[in-house]
Amino acid sequence: MLKRILHELKRHAPFTLFGAFTGIVLMVVIVLSGATTELLHGLFEGLHAVHVLLSALVTAAMYRRYRKNVIACILIGFVGSVGIATLSDVIFPHHGGTLILLATSQEAEIHFHIPFIEHCWLISSMALVGVAIGMYKPMTKIPHTGHVLLSTWASLFYVIAHAHGAVNWLPLLPMVFVVLFVAVWVPCCVSDIAFPLLFVGKEGGEQGHHAHD
C-alpha cells in the first residue's frame, strides 16, 4: 500500500503543481480586484461543498469497484470525503497561512472555521449525494481532476477569507504556492485512492491504478 501511495503522489504532482499555479493567478486577480470578505466567504463555502461531493463520489466509486457492501461504502465515502476535505481545505491552509503570517510578521491571524460543524446539514448532504452517485456509476478519472482544482481554490479562498487584519498578499505568493501545493497534493491522493483501498484488501491495492487511470 505504501508503494501504491508513493506512486500516486508522484503521478499527481505535476497536475497539482498546475492547480497551485492557477490558485496563485486567481489570488492576484482577487487582490487587485478588491473582492469583499463576504464574497470570499461565500466562494469558499461553495467550493468546499462541491469538493466534498466530488471527493465522496470518487472515494465511494473506488471502493464500489471491489466490494458491494452498501453500508460500508456509505461510511467510507462519507468519512473519506468530509474528513479529508476538511484536512485539505481547512486544516492545512489554516496552519500554513498562520505560519506564513508569523514568519513575515504580519499583523493578522487566520480564523479557524470548520464547515462540517457550522454547516453540518449542507456538508453532510453533499457527501451523501456524492456517495450515491459514486455507487450508482463508479467513475473516478474525471471527478478526480475536478477534485484537485476545487480543493486548490477552496484552500486559497479559506486563507484569504479568514485572514483577520491587513495583509499584503502579493509578496507572499511564493509561500502561498507551497501551502496550496501541500494542502492538495497529499490529502487528495489519500482520499481518492489510498483511503478506500485500505478497505478492499490486497486485490484493490494491486489493481487500484487500473480503475483510476
Q: Evaluate whether 123 touches 55 at the Cβ level (below 8 Å).
A: no
Question: Using CA of residue 36, residue 147, residue 142, residue 130, what is the dihedral sign?
Answer: negative
- Output the furthest CA–CA distance in the chain (Å, rounded): 53
CA distances to 12, 106, 190, 198 from 7, rounded to whole Å, are 9, 38, 11, 15
Q: What is residue 115's predicted lDDT score, i.e. its pLDDT?
A: 95
Which residues of the chain are modeled with pLDDT < 50?
205, 208-213
Query: Which residues are bridge partners to 109 per DSSP?
Result: 164
Helix (H) or strand (E) run with residue 81 in it: helix 70-86
* Number of other CB atoms surrounding residue 96 within 10 Å: 22
Tell me what pLDDT residue 145 has.
Answer: 67
Q: Give per-residue pLDDT as tens, 66-102.
A: 788 899 999 989 998 899 899 999 999 999 999 999 9
User: What is the model's pTM?
Assistant: 0.85
Tell me how far apart the alpha carbons of residues 157 and 42 are, in angstroms, rounded to a whole number. 9
The rounded distance, in Å, linking the Cα atoms of 50 and 96 is: 22
**Predicted confidence (pLDDT) per residue in 173-193, tens digit:** 999 999 999 888 877 666 656
